[in-house]
Structures are given as C-alpha cells and as structure tokens.
C-alpha cells in the first residue's frame, strides 16, 4: 500500500511567551523570556518560587461562564489552540467529511488543578463537596472530547500520555492515522496546566526543578555549565495535519510536510536518560530513516534541552553519536530556555517552533547560554536567532519512563 503524505495546514499556540501563533513566534525570535515569580499560589514555602506562566489569559474572552467552570485550564488551552489552528487552516467544516476528521490531543498530567482543588474540597468539607464534574474535568482524554463536541469532528479521537514526549506522540499518532487512511484531517497536539502546589512540590522533591530563585529569569539555561534543573511552563499547541491531496484539492496553504517519526524507549530508568542518550540516538535515527534522507540533510534540531544536567549532556552525546562530524555543522537550539518546560505540551509547541523555523528561515535561539558546558559543545544558537534557510528540522522530546519521540519536518 502506498504511503499517504501528511502536511501541516494550521497551527495554534498559547504559551508563556505569547498567545496566538504570531505572538508566540515573535517571542521566539526575539528571545523573549517567559519566566516569572509564581502568581497562581503562594510559593514562599517551596524550594522553587518561579515558573513560566501564561500572561494575560482571560478565559471569559473565549468561553462562557458555564464552560469555564466545567473545563480544567488544560482543556481550555487545548480547545482554544484547536480553534486557532482550525481558523488558520482555512477549513470550512461544512465542506469536509467530519467522520474523517479526528483529534489526538495529549496531556502528561491532565486536570491537575482540578484534582488538587477537589481534594482540598473533600478534606475541608467532606464527600458532599466533591463536584459532579470532578472526574470529567480531570481526566486526560477530555480535551480531545471537548474538541470533538465543539467542532463536530467524528473521526479517531483520543489522548496520548507519555510524560514529556506526549505532544510528539500525539502528532506521530495523528500522522499515522492519516497515512493508513483512517482519517483525512486531524487535530494533533498537547496541553498542560500543572503550575500547582502539588506539581511544583513533587518536582522539587525529585530535585528536578531549578531553585535559582535569586536569578530566576536566567534559571532556564540549557547546555550552560551552571544549569541546575528545568523550569515548569504551561500552555498548549494544536496542529492541523492533513492528507496532502486533500489539502491541495481545497487550495490550502501548507506550512510543512511531516516526513519522519522515531519512537523508542530507553528501558533503563524511571527518570534518568540512558547513558550516552542511547534511546535518543535510536529515535532520531528512526525518524531520519523513516523520511528516507541522509543524516547530513538534517539542518536543525529543536532539542529537548531541558536545562537539567543529565538531559543536556546525554542529548548532546546522542546527537554527536548519530550525526558524527555533521553534528558540528547543523544548528541546535532549546526553546525551553524561553518557554520553560511544558511537560506534555512541550512536543507540540516545539513542533510549531520547528515548522516556523523552516517557513521563515530563522532558527530560534537558546537564551541564557552564558558559560557553555565544555561537554555540550555544539552550535546551540546562543542568545540570538540565526537566519538560515533550512530544509529539514528535527524536533526531540524525551519523557520520564524512558519515552523518546523525534519528529522530522520538511520545508514545503
């Protein structure tokens, strides 16, 4: 069976550095810093007192009062970015087969804010205080369900959950569904809203978060010698993926083609990457092999680049192991330096960054890279965006549990 081509025809994003696709992209190329002191709760007793929060978000601008009360923020972000992506795609819902239009929307944690608030309600007032909407607000598949209901799309519909690789897995799944002929159009992406007491406290207990409270705007510093952990972010991104002939037949504007995916696992440790990034080597290799191109054709890697000691070193080693001398010729950057780490939404917002880099011929920078780690010696585009025409961009995401996902996009 011949393989159906899959292209990206719409994108929407809500991130700590911008709401909407153009504001997000402008923030990336400007090197905008999304990190701030936590305003969502009193963080004074926590080891980490900062995060990358979304700024100026007013749900009443997009949702009615009833919907706001019945949708966890993570679901709101997912629906909002799907609406943005649909409008961006130019798709007229009355002129497409809605039974062949689906959604794969992932979340690493789901409705954590709802879960926490309902626990507080129970312990303060007993079982009668638990909301009847608690379960449907909390579960990690409900964002995809809301999107189906809102837009009437009746094709394949579900969630992916693979920690920090979630958003990339959602895009990979949606691509495969179109390739095999199960759908013609798919919403695909990830959403997260986990800046809560329990999440910050939990990651603090893991010693995974930066505690650089005195200089928090420079705390997210991938590949820097003085990095001490990641900075949590929140937000979402949704892509509209479409079968190539379907997109052409309606005269769609095509951003890029998704030509390769690589999905592997370390089978090594719950939270630490395998030594030398062995699993990452295999996921990148599989993505390039899937695309049918040479390693030397990859121009840019949007790195997982979390600003943790282990990830940045092992990802660098993985890139050098796979690409050899070419590793020093291509561009690499971590946009988490600006947005923080959006957990289950990271793969989605970073796919958008990779696609825009292809379209615009501009590679976003790695900000806060002031004193490079001697063992992290690639061209990470330190502090300033780089203008360069690129044809292939690889986006990496790696998650707790050893999950690795690499997506390869081609300029259209």
Q: Which is the catalytic residue, given 146, 164, 246, 381? A: 164
For the question of residue 376 being annotated catalytic, the response is: no
Output the CA–CA distances (angstroms, integers) from residue 173 to 161, 300, 411, in the order listed.
12, 23, 21
Among candidate residues 106, 119, 111, 118, the one with its CA nearest the CA of residue 164 = 106
Give Dmax (Cα) for the chain: 64
Contact residues for 68 (Cβ-Cβ < 8 A; gap 6+): 59, 60, 76
For the question of residue 341 being annotated catalytic, the response is: yes
For the question of residue 164 being annotated catalytic, the response is: yes
Output the CA–CA distances (angstroms, integers) from residue 288 to 94, 132, 151, 323, 407, in the order listed.
37, 47, 34, 11, 9
Contact residues for 299 (Cβ-Cβ < 8 A; gap 6+): 330, 331, 388, 390, 391, 392, 393
User: Where is 52: in which H helix or E strand?
Assistant: none
Q: Which is the catalytic residue, given 146, 169, 246, 304? A: 304
- Dump the DSSP string for 149-171: HHHT--S-EE---BTBTHHHHHH
User: Where is 367: in which H helix or E strand?
Assistant: none
Q: Residue 303: count other Cβ atoms within 10 Å of its Cβ.
A: 29
Q: Which is the catalytic residue, given 146, 169, 341, 403? A: 341
Output the CA–CA distances (angstroms, integers) from residue 378 to 326, 334, 355, 394, in the order listed.
10, 12, 21, 15
204, 229 Cβ separation under 8 angstroms: no
Which positions are catalytic? 164, 304, 341
């Amino acid at each position: 069976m011949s393989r159906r081509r899959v292209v990206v025809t719409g994108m929407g994003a809500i991130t700590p550095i911008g709401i909407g696709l153009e504001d997000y992209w402008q923030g990336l190329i400007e090197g905008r810093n999304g990190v701030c002191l936590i305003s969502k709760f009193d963080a004074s007793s926590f080891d980490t007192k900062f995060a990358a929060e979304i700024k100026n978000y007013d749900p009443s601008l997009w949702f009615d009062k009833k919907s706001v009360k019945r949708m966890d923020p993570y679901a709101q972000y997912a629906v909002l970015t799907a609406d943005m992506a649909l409008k961006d795609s130019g798709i007229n819902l009355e002129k497409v087969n809605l039974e062949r239009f689906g959604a794969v929307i992932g979340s690493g944690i789901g409705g954590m804010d709802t879960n926490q608030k309902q626990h507080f309600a129970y312990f303060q007032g007993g079982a009668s205080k638990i909301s009847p909407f608690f379960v449907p607000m909390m579960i990690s598949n409900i964002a995809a369900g809301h999107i189906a209901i809102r837009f009437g799309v009746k094709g394949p519909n579900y969630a992916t959950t693979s920690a920090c690789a979630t958003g990339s897995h959602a895009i990979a799944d949606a691509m495969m569904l179109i390739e095999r002929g199960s759908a013609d159009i798919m919403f695909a992406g990830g959403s997260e809203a986990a800046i809560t007491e329990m999440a910050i406290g939990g990651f603090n207990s893991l010693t995974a978060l930066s505690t650089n409270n005195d200089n928090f705007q420079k705390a997210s510093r991938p590949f820097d010698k003085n990095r001490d952990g990641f900075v949590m972010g929140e937000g979402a991104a949704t892509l509209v993926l479409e079968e190539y002939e379907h997109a052409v037949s309606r005269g769609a504007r095509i951003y890029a083609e998704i030509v390769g995916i690589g999905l592997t696992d370390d089978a090594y440790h719950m939270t630490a990457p395998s030594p030398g990034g062995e699993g990452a080597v295999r996921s990148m290799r599989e993505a390039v092999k899937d695309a049918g191109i040479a390693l030397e054709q990859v121009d840019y890697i949007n790195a997982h680049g979390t600003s943790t000691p282990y990830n940045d070193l092992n990802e660098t080693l993985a890139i050098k192991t796979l690409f050899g001398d070419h590793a020093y010729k291509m561009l690499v950057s971590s946009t988490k330096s600006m947005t923080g780490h959006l957990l289950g939404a990271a793969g989605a917002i970073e796919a958008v960054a990779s696609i825009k880099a292809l379209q615009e011929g501009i590679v976003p920078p790695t900000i806060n890279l002031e004193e490079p780690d001697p063992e992290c010696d690639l061209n990470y585009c330190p502090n300033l965006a780089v203008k360069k025409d690129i044809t292939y961009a690889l986006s990496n995401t790696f998650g707790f549990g050893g999950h690795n996902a690499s997506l390869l996009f081609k300029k259209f």
